[in-house]
A and B are shown apart, each in its own frame.
Chain A
Amino acid sequence: MNTGGIQARFRLDWPGFVLDVDLQLPGRGITAVFGRSGSGKTALLRCIAGLEKAPGFLSVAGDVWQDDAVRRFLPTWQRPVGYVFQESSLFPHLSVRRNLEYGLKRLKLADRRVSLDYAVELLGIGPLLERLPGRLSGGERQRVAIARALAVSPRLLLMDEPLAALDLERKQEILPYLQRLHDELEIPLLYVSHAPDEVARLADNLVAIEAGRVLASGPIGEILSRLDLPIRLGEDTGVVLDAVVAERDATWHLARADFAGGQFWVRDAGFPVGHPVRLRVLARDVSLALEQQTGTSILNTLPADVVEIADDTHPAQVLVKLELGASPLVARVTKRSAAALGLRPGHAVWAQIKAVAVIG
């Protein structure tokens, strides 16, 4: 048993819905629980928090929170979790400061590992402290809710679609803070989402869930490049690559990002050389050629090997999994092109990448 991580096994029987999961999750980083609405993501999170009582087993970092075999079930308030609900759940009768202090002052002194100042600074809510929740914008409220969850020094942070109730602009306002959490936090974070862009940007690990069952669970790079999973991302199908800024070209405002197995020239996002960045390459932005093309506007052309070919959501298209050295890539091409090029696993091709997004 991996004592550092999370072991969760639940079976929840509701009329018309069954949640049946058995998961091993890493004890660090952000694990996205991804699936459509109604797939059981939130139910899983609530079971882990103890807000829902489902038969099963749960241990976090070696501590058993639930074990039916010995009739152990810690009530929510005795579990060292932080929970951020989908819509703001701030106490309306308390100021932001007193909302933040609510959980903190219920902690034993020895359990206070996160200072209030740190949480306030990390979420940038210093100017809001004396206000009542009713006087905050939706984005501000969610930032306060995240800070409040952090302030109880949780051993596990749970977030249930914290951005779902916000418009695009507010999302953009919060995402950088979540990114900071990711970089600074040493506890695992389970992040429920149905938004592929959030998942691609934040997650280290991915649990894909559908109709109450786990379809796949593992490192995000690995899961997103698997073709055998019916993860219906549609237009959002693509891979993420972890890279490092290796060079910046001031003349053309480009930056070179090196990853295991290759390098891309991308738009310079302002990160200094040596800074880790995450790249997202959508399958629709990757085209294939048998020879290296010249006289093309495409900047990033790399040799790759075809690993696997699988049907796409539309019958006209196929998804082609490639290997760029140690990194996977997925290309979406028409079936006709695949036939014309005679694509087959093992073939060497040139991958032409039209767009690479730098996501933090």
Chain B
Amino acid sequence: MVDYLVDILHIFFIFVVLVMLTYAIRHFIFTFNRLYCRQKFYYQDIIDSDLPKVTVLIPMHNEEQVATGVLDALLACDYPADRLEIKPVNDHSEDKTKEILEAYHIKHPNVVPLHREKDDQTRGKPAALNDAMAEATGDIIIVFDADYLPGKGLIKVLATAFADPEVGAVMGRVTPVNTKVNLMTRLLDLERSGGYQVDQQARYNLDLLPQYGGTVGGYRKALLLSTGGFNTKILAEDTELTYRFMTNGWKIAYANGAECYEEAPEDWGVRARQVNRWARGHNEVMFHYMFKLLRSRKITFSQKLDGFMLLTIYMMPVILILGIVDSLLLFFLGRMDIMTGWWIILFVGAYNTFGNFAPFFQIGTAVVLDGSKDRAKLLPYLSLNFYFYMWYISKGFVEAIVDIITRRNAEWKKTERYRKENVGEKL
């Protein structure tokens, strides 16, 4: 019986090593692609067609601190006013968000707020977006979270991609606006750089799967509505859209130059809840889409592989925790005799040199590509996040399993805002 158990522990140990190795190779491929390979340019020109009618949706729940910032920024955009509708969605706010939105509506006719106030309505971003899409007049939906500050030309840049009839969704780049606040925001700044400057762009270069991130991005309204709108039981509506479109053969474009400032979480508790929510939502999508992804005949093998690795990425911390437990059990059972031979030293040495280094290499490369220098010195501090994320992502994974089994509705909790100026007080 014990031998049987030890065999299982050995197999799982080898599985964990292979998984770690695969993800390390993935980091290297993406990073080398950004450094040395041909780069794919985002859509630059529309030769002769008109810009599409766009509706910008901004889900809001108690956003009086930031509402005017995003609305003023959108009103300053250079997108033709007759082709732009701005639709903030007040989702059961209890502060002065509603009053702020109504004040803007009176001054600016193309700001058309939607107020969701009924008690029996499903709350949260996916449900709010579904209701707003039913009223939206645009063919293209572009979404911004309320704390974002889009630049003047951003909507035009994002909308350009839809001149390509194969593009179902587009994603821009997110950059923290509060980098200097503390160690947390500085580390998030590094993570964002690595995630967008290297990861997303490399995926776009390689015709893999750039991810629609739910903000600073857009999609074709008819396409989403024809497939039933957002699933309100899934917290990660952005990841769900990515996989729904991709498995149906639609492209997702990535615009590295479509940069937009966001407010990054400034304390560990808020970040923990955010990561927990992402992990829970992402894993819900994994349970829903794994077989659809593997069975899809509309995508290539490499897209399936990338899609598979992205889909399982929020399961990795759980596998690593189990791997640590597994190795401790084997150690105390005196059965770490999985592989023997002097060449193992070379293998371990190689992984310690290159494998552990891979994510730092990716983020460091992103920092260099962004033209920064000294912020790269903070790279070792990212190792602190490893244990932090491991716990909260694993918690999200377990919650996702419970969501799937019990079919319960997950409660949407928005990320807290930090902007000091309370504009609502001034009205």
A binds B: no
Interface, chain B (partner A; CB < 8 A):
none
Interface, chain A (partner B; CB < 8 A):
none
